Structure 1
Amino acid sequence: MYPEADAKTTVGDSSHDNSSVGTQAKPPRKGLWSVRHGLAFMLHMCNFSMYTQQLHLNIAITAMVNQTALQSQPNASVDAQDNWNATQEEVQARASTYNWNPELRGIILSSHNYGSIFAPLPVGFVAGVFGAKYVVGAGLFLTSFLSFFIPLSADAGVAALIVVRVIQGLSQDMVLTGQYSIWVRWAPPLERSQLVSIATSGAMLGSFLVYLVGGFICQSIGWPYVFYIFGGIGCVCCLLWFPLAYNDPKDHPFISADEKRYITCSLAQQDNLPGWSLPIKSMIKSKPLWAILISYICQYYTSKTILSYTPTYINSVLQFSVRDSGILSSLPFIATWITMMLGGLLADFLLSRKIFRLVTIRKIFTATGVLGSSALFIPLHWVRFSRSTTIVFLVLATAFTGFNQSGALVNFIDVAPRYTSFLKGFFQMFVFIDGAIAPTIGGILINQDSVLGWRNMFLIVSCINIIGLIFYLILGQAHEQDWAKEETVTHL
């Protein structure tokens, strides 16, 4: 629970973009070795493991599909095609392969989002009331355990594979949504961007590793081991999470008195205590929430498209082998991991030094991420004659998206800390809708035209991203909303 009103140490008014947070108690001299940063790194590993299991099918599917002939590519040499064909035959000899066309592959890749569209709302609500420890831990264990059954389900048929992926999606949602309720109790406002960025950047590190080694695993020992290995890593993370994670600093057995006092004083001026009632009418009327929601939808459409199709694009369009396409597909995500970490540190630095207001920081980082990535996605179709140039554009475009994490994607904690977990769950519903729609649309476009389909996909991604940015720049705010400060009569 949160400290009572008499424990508050507020100095000045906090109603203007949290600019007064710099006057709160000074942090204990522990830096990144504090317990709160340790918790962020634990969530970093949970997100790392969860994303390896969300994406292992994306890289494995290039080896799972029986590709007996290459489509003619104007930029492919005869030697490159012969080498690519030889590699495909080597991969297919190590495990079963399946006759899945591009449209069916798009459905399979998006299937883990189907059952999760409505799950985030109750997950976020329950995690906000009861805490994230068991919600996150149970979700991570279930998705890890189910990874062992993907090869069996693929042999049983597409329907069985989709069922397993749907259940995995539900359990992954418990990790994605539930973790945000932890920061309501653990994250001082001046460290909010860096703590959330450290935790969520684990997703990019997981994406990097699964693409880096996934193709090598498929080619050397067979694609089923991609699921066995990363499922096992997830089970190990569960063994560390349950004994070391705590929902509230006051319950942690190893936290120092200084750090506990610092967190308590930092959060004392915010009414963060979650409850059963929700100001639904006020949320619906809130323009800042609409700005965040639209930005969320648009940015995650881009994310889901790139996560799903980067390996396939490098493998089929640029005609790299399964192993090489996995390695090259990993590069955009390690670059994004770096920009997410640096973005969180830079955002908190700008806020603590009062260089910009919080709302300005959120909009600068969002604009940088959206405009930078869109400017590089649009010309991809016209630079594909050079494989090295295309890879550089892909890496830089994806890296720019990492700055969004310190912009609109964390903004909901600023405007309504009391309802952080519920709002994350609500936004996550639309993320899963993106996850269900984006790969399917991509598969349809590529199935219709193997060349222009890729061009159209990247153009659509860029246009959607820019539309979300416009809404956010016009309507976005960063100060705590009045309806989020206390319970009102407009509750659910």
Structure 2
Amino acid sequence: MTKTTSQDNEKGTIGGEKVPILLSKRWILAYIGMVGFFFIYSLRVNLSVAIVCMVKDDVNKTTSTNLSTSNEATCTADTPSNSTNNGEFDWDKDTQSLMLSAFFYGYIVLQVPGGWMAGRFGGKRVLGIGVLVTAIATVLLPVAARQDHRAVYALRVIMGLAEGVSFPCMHSMWGRWSPTMERTRLASFTYAGLNVGNVVTYIVSGLLCAYGFDNGWAAIFYLTGGAAFIWVFAWFVFVYDSPEDHPSISQAERDYIVSHRGDKQTKKFKVPWKSVVKSRAMWMCLGAHLCNNWMHYTLLTGLPTFMKQVLKYDIKQASSEFVL
């Protein structure tokens, strides 16, 4: 490995050779990772919009009528939606809720083991297989829904298990690929894909409900799942677990990453679990994160149904107007 100096660091060079930035291998990983998290969240939230189109309007007719007759219910629109939804299924509220929540029963299981799996088998392999399994389950979901609603529960749990490794694997990847002074920038760019995925999926799913093939809602799963297959192919072709494994990375970039990623200490330390449990700062951060995630996932999962059934909001029409 080429020896680096403080003067090299200031000039962004290693041994006199300039280190690439925007077209570097680490930034290519960030670009592919961002698109990956776009699909990871797209495959997660597509059912939230699709279920509005899948279920017949008259299933919750009684509840909706009772809400709209109250003049004091300021959160309810005065006039009903102008559109009608000829959905295929007559699932009640409990069935819909279980379908939407089943994902998280699987998602919670591999949050911690996912990090160990990434370290043991490589983040590239574990994350790629996780998204592949999620894409397969997504494409199969329309078939499962038309056979038995319990099959949808099973597929959603499988999707949660597969996506539970996403963040631990990406953290592991950036631990090997990002110099300490670029870690925040690279990770933030990568995880921005999840917010873009939420917004785009909500809009596109509304359009597909109205204009898509196979009754509209099924097209949501076919298209998002099919596009995820393309990303999985790109992930396995262009991404490597570490700069040491990459066959075409420049020597300057490899040396730059290895010398600045902060893993020179080879001694292993035991986790001070007792101190962690007794830390008030840790519990405050955990509580804040719990509340944030509770609110975030509640809105992410239930907002389309709430807007349709309570606010009488026409999601299909709104998606069309947004694009126009």
State the TM bucket, normalised to the shorter chain.
Answer: 0.7 to 0.9
Residue 232 (structure 1) aligned with residue 226 (structure 2)? yes
Which residue identity lines up with residue 290 of structure 2 in the other structure? I
Which residue identity lines up with residue 135 of structure 2 in the other structure? S
For residues 267-293 of structure 1, what are the alpha-carbon distances to aligned partners after superposition, in whole Å with 9 as ceiling and x for unaligned?
24664x697975544543455544443
Residue 97 (structure 1) aligned with residue 108 (structure 2)? no
Residue 26 (structure 1) aligned with residue 20 (structure 2)? no
Q: CA deviation at 1:98?
A: 2.2
Aligned to 1:368: none
Residue 76 (structure 1) aligned with residue 77 (structure 2)? yes
Which residue identity lines up with residue 127 of structure 1 in the other structure? A
Q: CA deviation at 1:294?
A: 2.8
Aligned to 1:256: 250
Aligned to 1:88: 84
* Equivalent residues of 2:107, 2:161 under 8 A apart: yes
Which residue identity lines up with residue 26 of structure 1 in the other structure? G
Tell me: CA distance 1:172–1:325, structure 2 relative to 1, closer, same or farther (3 Å).
Answer: farther
Which of 266, 270, 277 is 1:284 aligned to?
277
| Inter-partner Cα distance in structure 1 for 2:173 and 2:91 | 44
Fraction of identical pairs, as percent: 29
Q: What count of residue pairs does the alignment treat as equivalent?
A: 303
Residue 135 (structure 1) aligned with residue 117 (structure 2)? no
Counterparts of 1:93-492 in structure 2, within 5 Å, are: 96-101=88-93, 103-221=94-212, 222-268=216-262, 271=265, 278-326=271-319
CA RMSD of aligned residues (A): 2.9
Q: CA deviation at 1:199?
A: 1.0
Tell me: CA distance 1:160–1:309, structure 2 relative to 1, closer, same or farther (3 Å).
Answer: same
Tell me: CA distance 1:319–1:235, structure 2 relative to 1, closer, same or farther (3 Å).
Answer: same
Aligned to 2:55: 65
* Equivalent residues of 1:10, 1:268 under 8 A apart: no
Q: CA deviation at 1:114?
A: 0.9
Q: Which runs of 5+ in 2 are unaligned?
A: none
For residues 161-210 of structure 1, what are the alpha-carbon distances to aligned partners after superposition, in whole Å with 9 as ceiling and x for unaligned?
11110011101112232221001111112211111111111111111111
SS of the equivalent of 1:148 reads helix
Q: CA deviation at 1:130?
A: 3.2
| Inter-partner Cα distance in structure 2 for 1:326 and 1:279 | 50
Q: CA deviation at 1:323?
A: 0.9
* Equivalent residues of 2:19, 2:256 under 8 A apart: no
| Inter-partner Cα distance in structure 2 for 1:215 and 1:228 | 14
Which residue identity lines up with residue 92 of structure 2 in the other structure? W
Which residue identity lines up with residue 228 of structure 1 in the other structure? Y
Which residue identity lines up with residue 139 of structure 1 in the other structure? G
| Inter-partner Cα distance in structure 1 for 2:34 and 2:235 | 11
Which residue identity lines up with residue 91 of structure 2 in the other structure? N
* Equivalent residues of 2:180, 2:262 under 8 A apart: no
Q: CA deviation at 1:136?
A: 0.5
* Equivalent residues of 2:139, 2:222 under 8 A apart: yes
Q: CA deviation at 1:119?
A: 1.9
* Equivalent residues of 1:59, 1:215 under 8 A apart: yes
Q: CA deviation at 1:31?
A: 3.2
| Inter-partner Cα distance in structure 1 for 2:36 and 2:27 | 14
| Inter-partner Cα distance in structure 2 for 1:329 and 1:58 | 19
Q: CA deviation at 1:25?
A: 8.0
* Equivalent residues of 2:30, 2:187 under 8 A apart: yes
| Inter-partner Cα distance in structure 1 for 2:267 and 2:309 | 49
Aligned to 1:45: 35
* Equivalent residues of 1:128, 1:274 under 8 A apart: no
For residues 194-236 of structure 1, what are the alpha-carbon distances to aligned partners after superposition, in whole Å with 9 as ceiling and x for unaligned?
1111111111111111101101111123211111111101111
Tell me: CA distance 1:231–1:297, structure 2 relative to 1, closer, same or farther (3 Å).
Answer: same
| Inter-partner Cα distance in structure 2 for 1:31 and 1:142 | 33
Q: CA deviation at 1:318?
A: 3.3
Tell me: CA distance 1:201–1:151, structure 2 relative to 1, closer, same or farther (3 Å).
Answer: same
| Inter-partner Cα distance in structure 1 for 2:89 and 2:222 | 17
Q: CA deviation at 1:324?
A: 3.3
Tell me: CA distance 1:77–1:301, structure 2 relative to 1, closer, same or farther (3 Å).
Answer: closer
Q: CA deviation at 1:132?
A: 0.1
Q: CA deviation at 1:107?
A: 2.4
| Inter-partner Cα distance in structure 1 for 2:263 and 2:210 | 56
SS of the equivalent of 2:204 reads helix
Tell me: CA distance 1:258–1:10, structure 2 relative to 1, closer, same or farther (3 Å).
Answer: closer
SS of the equivalent of 1:120 reads coil
Tell me: CA distance 1:255–1:321, structure 2 relative to 1, closer, same or farther (3 Å).
Answer: same
Aligned to 1:56: 46
| Inter-partner Cα distance in structure 1 for 2:318 and 2:269 | 48
| Inter-partner Cα distance in structure 2 for 1:213 and 1:326 | 7
Tell me: CA distance 1:218–1:276, structure 2 relative to 1, closer, same or farther (3 Å).
Answer: farther
* Equivalent residues of 1:188, 1:266 under 8 A apart: yes
